[in-house]
A and B are shown apart, each in its own frame.
Chain A
Amino acid sequence: MTLLAVENLTVALPQGADREYAVEDVSFALDAGEILCIVGESGSGKSVSANAIMGLLPRALPVRRGSIGFDGAELTRLPPEAMRRLRGARIGMIFQEPMTALNPLMRVGDQISEVLRVHDAPGGQPRVLELLAAVNLPDPPSLAGAYPFRLSGGQRQRVMIAMALALEPRLLIADEPTTALDVTTQMQILRLIKEIQRRRGTGVLFITHDFGVVAEIADRVAVMQHGRIVEQGPAARVLDAPNHPYTQALIAAVPHGAGAARPLPDGPPVLTATGVRKTYMRGGGLFARGKPLRAVQDADFSIRKGETLGLVGESGSGKSTLARCIVRLVQPEAGEIAFGHVNLRTLSRTAWKPFRRKIQMVFQDPFASLNPRRRVADIIADGPVTHGTPRAEARARTTELLRLVQLDPSAAERFPHEFSGGQRQRIGIARALAMQPELLIADEPVSALDVSVQAQVLKLLAELRDRLGLTMMFITHDLRVAAQVCDRVAVMQNGAIVEQGVTGAVFASPRHTYTRTLLESIPGRGWVPAGQSGHKA
């Protein structure tokens, strides 16, 4: 039975936008008890479609054409008051960011019972506890009395789901509900949504950019590009035999976890870290001592010349802190970081300067890592100039570097805001390469990018590594990316390296339980994209 039928939905964009319609002639249908995934990259119009169904479009985005039929009612023509009664009661929604979707000043239980009260639904406290239990939250009575800040991201997302389910809606819209979560938590939430859909026969409209997630939970898939649905069909068919070139390109761009089959470099170690430790003091002040937080504890690893070492782990595992310890953005309190024969940890700021040439870093957020007030040419040339390269020579190299990272040399005279995320990341890479470093540290260089752009940047990094013989330390939370890029991986949990070894071996036979959990949490791990082989795990 068709629960939701969207036909020829067209939503206009404000004038001056890069295209006329946010979504154009979008049609899809959703049956009760079915999970439809809408996949697309950022700006493809998937969230606009979901918000149109909920009647949550901002005024600047009016619905121009089309109909949204839900359970016999036409939503586009519904007055706001009727729509309000429908929202929450018959259509539930889960948002992307669990950290901001809950009212920080209200107890969790009160927020859920508010949903019941607003819609005059019976139940009260027992029903709240029942809901919290239904989303597999531990100890519902004490949790209902807690404020949101006490809850982890995954727990908050469960509370959001409990709220969305409070009135047993027929339709659940989930807008990237797991994007902000760690992989292990993501897996739990995906299982929960699947379980609820199966148990209650709820129709789920699931919006995501991740084909792994699609493979994990979708019954049917609709792929969006530039506001249009380019392909839709049963999940198995779309994933394994995509028709549309865009879908094919997207699926080909999914990091496939197949390691680059190259011989393990066995040169001398470039960097050896032993017993690196960094503790932060949380809270405290003039009169009270803070609580110590072990960000990195006793990290031992070494990177050989020409090798790529992956540092993987979930957020808060200390992988970024460890990288920052190496380049002295953070001062570790113990241990040895030996670069060649020099212990970098004990050097002064001045003594460190010559090593800045040799160790460079690529940052995570392409929108924050370039100074918005400086031209690209200055951004790239500044580093070498500081280290004594004549300005003219550095400028000449800039052109060469831009070509190396596949940007047009005319980019040099422009400002960072004129570029897309992927292009900015290339500029960041060019900036690091301008120093001709011996060791390149890449801190989540692709996690802020869309899959297709991500694939391009990864390919570029791999090419550069082979061409320039770079030694790399690659930090990522995405195991599929790590498997594709790294020769060896080190898995971090709670500030400690729990396992390290050759990528293939670690992924094929993980020794530590945490590594095993991580590997099992890769969404869609059973799915091997068509035309790709060597997929492990």
Chain B
Amino acid sequence: MNFSRAFARNRGAVVGVLLLLLVLATGLSAPFLFPFSPWDMRGVPFMPPGEMGFLLGSDSLGRDVAAGIAHGATVSLMVGAVSTVAALAIGVSLGAVAGYFGGRIDDLVMRSTEFFQTIPSFVFAVVLVAIFTPSLASIVVAIAVVSWPPVTRVVRAEFLSLRTREFVQAAEVLGHSRTAIVFREILPNALSPIIVLASLMVATAILLESSLSFLGLGDPNMMSWGFLIGSGRSVIRLAWWMSVFPGIAIFLTVLALNLVGEGLNDALNPRLARRR
């Protein structure tokens, strides 16, 4: 079955991809559309959308909200992607080890995973960022540290079931090394749920980053959607556009990622999708 055709059968997923491409294009073209720093004062403060050349209005310091959203798109997507990759690296390797070896090692890994899961993830992220001073790197690390446990659990479950499959036993009988068995035989067959999970994790990471910068824990040198909402919070009755437009940006991006995740799930697990 052709993957792209299976994916395209889910209309929502196609819409999600288009939205995501739109956000990505906005982020990439920000330096050309708004060839100035989003922190620059561009005119009179509190201008409603459409006036004085402000497409989406200006904020309390006369900064362009549209420019902020465009420049913030890069930050959001990058934080989402990088922290997800980092979380996957931790989660997949730990899950693979736990699921493949089982027994004591499995116990050890899973108990430490549970230890991380008992700490409320957002509070943990706040603490980490606060300790390591807010910067892009510390935010990415904090998000990765709080979001790997679910990956570990999913990967472990996949490995546990795949490990007993006959083709893995056959590889064992052929005398393959453990590394070869894990990377060549098991992992490729466990990829589908990992990919689906990853797409949803990017969405969660973007939300986490926004929440952190909303609380003032964002990178002070980077414009981000959460910061925009945070700075507009106190004046929301005076200048609704300061919070609403970045909010819509977050909403659309997260929605798009969820739609894509759903589509990937349907395309990669065709048997489940067709039953509906």
Contacts and interface: CB of A to CB of B under 8 A. Distances in A.
Contact of A386 (B165, B166, B175, B188): B175
Interface residues of A, number: 27
Contacts of B180: 386
A79 to B, nearest CB: 27
A369 B170 contact: yes
A386 B188 CA distance: 19
A387 B175 CA distance: 8
Interface in B169-192: 169-177, 180, 184-185, 188-189
Interface string A233-275: 0000000000000000000000000000000000000000000
Contacts of B165: 368
Contact of B167 (A329, A359, A368, A387): A368
Nearest to A365: B166
A370 interface: yes
Interface residues of B, number: 17
Interface in A380-415: 382-383, 386-387
A77 interface: no
Contact of A356 (B167, B173, B185): B173
B165 to A, nearest CB: 5
Interface string A357-374: 101110111001111111
A373 B188 contact: yes
Given A368-B167, A372-B189, A373-B188, A353 B175 contact: yes
A386 B174 contact: yes
Contacts of A369: 166-167, 169-170
Contacts of B184: 374, 382
A371 B168 CA distance: 8
A386 B171 CA distance: 10
Contact of A329 (B172, B175, B185, B189): B172
Given A369-B166, A371-B167, A371-B185, A329 B173 contact: yes
B74 to A, nearest CB: 35
A474 to B, nearest CB: 16
Interface in A415-458: 428, 431, 435
A498 interface: no
A327 interface: yes
A370 B176 contact: no
Contacts of A386: 174-177, 180
Contacts of A359: 173
A356 B175 contact: yes
Contact of B174 (A368, A370, A372, A382): A382
A365 B185 CA distance: 17
Contacts of B173: 327, 329, 356, 359-361
A365 to B, nearest CB: 6
B44 to A, nearest CB: 60
Contacts of A361: 169-170, 173
Given A357-B175, A373-B189, A387-B175, A431 B166 contact: no
Contacts of A327: 173
A337 B45 CA distance: 85
Interface string B142-180: 000000000000000000000001110111111111001
Contacts of B175: 352-353, 356-357, 383, 386-387
B167 to A, nearest CB: 4
Contacts of A370: 167, 170
Nearest to B172: A329
Contacts of A356: 173-175
A201 B189 CA distance: 53
Contacts of A368: 165-167
Contacts of B188: 371, 373-374
A19 B158 CA distance: 36
Given A365-B166, A428-B170, A431-B170, A371 B189 contact: yes
Given A372-B189, A373-B188, A373-B189, A382 B166 contact: no
A206 to B, nearest CB: 31
A352 B172 CA distance: 11
Interface string A118-158: 00000000000000000000000000000000000000000
A87 B169 CA distance: 45
Nearest to A353: B175
B170 A363 contact: yes
B174 A329 contact: no
A382 B188 CA distance: 16
A428 B174 CA distance: 12
A285 to B, nearest CB: 11
Contacts of A352: 175
A534 B176 CA distance: 44
A327 B185 CA distance: 19
Contacts of B167: 368-372
A383 B188 CA distance: 18
Interface string A340-357: 000000000000110011
B176 A329 contact: no
A364 B166 contact: yes
A329 B169 contact: yes
B176 A382 contact: yes
Contacts of B174: 356, 360, 382-383, 386, 431, 435
Contacts of A365: 166
A370 B170 CA distance: 8
Contacts of A383: 174-176
Contacts of B172: 329
Given A371-B185, A371-B189, A372-B189, A363 B169 contact: yes
B176 A363 contact: no
A368 B174 CA distance: 16
A43 B177 CA distance: 40
B173 to A, nearest CB: 5
B101 to A, nearest CB: 12
Contacts of A387: 175
B161 to A, nearest CB: 11
Contacts of B166: 363-365, 368-369
Contacts of B170: 361, 363, 369-370, 428, 431
B194 to A, nearest CB: 14
A66 to B, nearest CB: 29
A329 B175 CA distance: 11
A362 to B, nearest CB: 9
Q: Which of A324, A363, A365 has the most CB of B within 10 A?
A: A363
Nearest to B168: A371
A370 B166 CA distance: 7
Nearest to A324: B169
9 contacts: A329-B172, A352-B175, A353-B175, A356-B173, A359-B173, A361-B170, A363-B169, A369-B167, A371-B189
Q: Which 9 A-B pairs have the closest CB atoms?
A: A356-B175, A369-B166, A383-B174, A363-B166, A373-B188, A371-B167, A368-B166, A361-B173, A353-B175
Interface of B: 165-167, 169-177, 180, 184-185, 188-189
Given A361-B169, A365-B166, A369-B166, 4 more contacts: A327-B173, A361-B173, A373-B188, A428-B170
